[in-house]
Amino acid sequence: MTFSWKPTRREFLGGTAAVAGAAAVGVAPFASAFGASYPDRNLKVIIPTREGGGADRNFRAFSGIWKKYLKTKFEPRFYPGASGRVGYEVYMGKNEPDAYSLIFGNMGPELLNWVVKEPESFKVSDYLYFGRVDTDPGCVFVGRKSKFTSIDQIVAEAKKRTLTVGTSRMAHPASIGILYLGEKTGAKFNLIPLSGGKNTVAGAVTGEVDLSVLTSGTVAAKRKSVRTLLVFDDKNKLGERLDNAPTINDHFGTDLPPMLSSRAFGIHKAAVDKYPDRFAVLQATFKKVFTDPDFKAAVKKAKGNWEYINYGGVEECAAYSKSIMKIGARYKSLLSGKS
């Protein structure tokens, strides 16, 4: 029964992003090497999902370390709605392209949004992702009490009758994964969007749906209530934590590229063109975070999966964007409900 906190109110409210960054003590004399005074104020980060969700946790862990290299604080702002569209519209429409505001999104589902329907007030090429934080493959799972114990049982059953599949949203890499599996095996799946990871897990556990698909990082965190049966990646990197489930390509001899959700920071294209020096500071400091031992500790502390942390710069992000939009286009009618 001890009061382990004694800071003033201002101090602890000042650093809202304190979850993981509490340990940020040693400040590296890095950003000043670029001479310019950027950044001389807080950086605003638009997050197009709800506060308290997976993106929030991921962001706090990352920004807690990044801030010590960038020597500034991050102010997260949450704009959920319409599968992330609202956040992007707000970022592009209401924030100056001056490199003082960033967007922290989930590249996979959010790029698939644009495949289904173009953004309203800007073009997809008006912003670019420059900092990939992780790559988290989709997976197929059922509740612990489900009668299905292997993916083969599911495919066999789905050839007889259409199985319902819970998904976080229609336009999601994991949804594409299960549609692809159906196409290759002749199994019939009916996607049921359950809005968000929390409800998707709940749907499978309570039996609302026969099975669910979701990013495997979230599923691994719930492994006591669920059983993972298939991973949409080249390798099951989490092994035991995903019940040693096989990968789709190994098990079915297919050649599906990894169906990844991938959290990344994005920025206005106009800001990159106008302030190349600022953009360089962002890129360089961003990369530093991945080799910082505090970051690994922060990810572990937030119950994240270190195996999925995967640095990527502008090129990696662009390559990913291209491939996900290409495969998304193939499934456009199924994802948009229009034939």
Which residues of this protein are in contact with another protein, per CB under 8 A?
Answer: 1-5, 7-10, 12-13, 15-16, 18-19, 22, 51-52, 57, 77, 80-83, 85-86, 89-90, 93, 113, 116-117, 145, 162, 164, 169-171, 190, 192-195, 198-199, 201-202, 205-209, 221-222, 224-225, 301-303, 335-338
Q: Which two tokens stand for residue 275?
A: 């302030």
CA nearest to 106, candidates 132, 73, 142, 76? 132
148 vs 286, beta carbon nearer another protein: 148
Nearest distance from residue 288's CB to another protein, in Å? 25
Contacts of 212 (CB under 8 A, 6+ apart): 140, 141, 142, 165, 166, 167, 194, 200, 201, 203, 204
Minimum Å distance from CB 2 to another protein? 6
Indicate the residue among 172 and 237 with the shorter CB distance to another protein: 172
What is the rounded CA–CA span in Å between residue 237 and residue 230? 12
Check if the beta carbon of residue 108 is closer than 8 Å to that of residue 173. Answer: yes
Q: How far is the CB of 28 from another protein (least distance, A)?
A: 23
Kindly tell me which of 132 and 169 has the beta carbon lying closer to another protein: 169
In whole angstroms, give the CA distance from residue 296 to residue 289.
9
Question: Residue 66 CB, nearest distance to another protein (Å)?
Answer: 18
Smallest gap from Cβ 1 to another protein, in A, equals 7
The residue among 159 and 288 lying less far from another protein, judged by its C-beta, is: 159
**Residue with smaller CB distance to another protein, 222 or 278:** 222
Q: Could you tell me where the DSSP H helices lie in the chain?
A: 9-14, 18-21, 54-70, 85-94, 107-116, 151-160, 173-185, 197-206, 216-221, 248-252, 269-274, 276-289, 293-301, 314-330, 332-336
User: 200 or 321: whose CB is closer to another protein?
Assistant: 200
Residue whose CB is less far from another protein, 1 or 33: 1
3-state secondary structure of 245: coil
CA 217 to CA 214: how far, in whole Å?
9
Please give the span between the terminal C-alpha atoms of the chain, in angstroms, as a whole number: 62
Cβ 141 to another protein shortest distance, Å? 14
Numbers of helices and strands, H then E, in the chain: 15, 12
Distance in Å, CB of 53 to another protein, minimum: 9
Consecutive H or E run containing 38: none
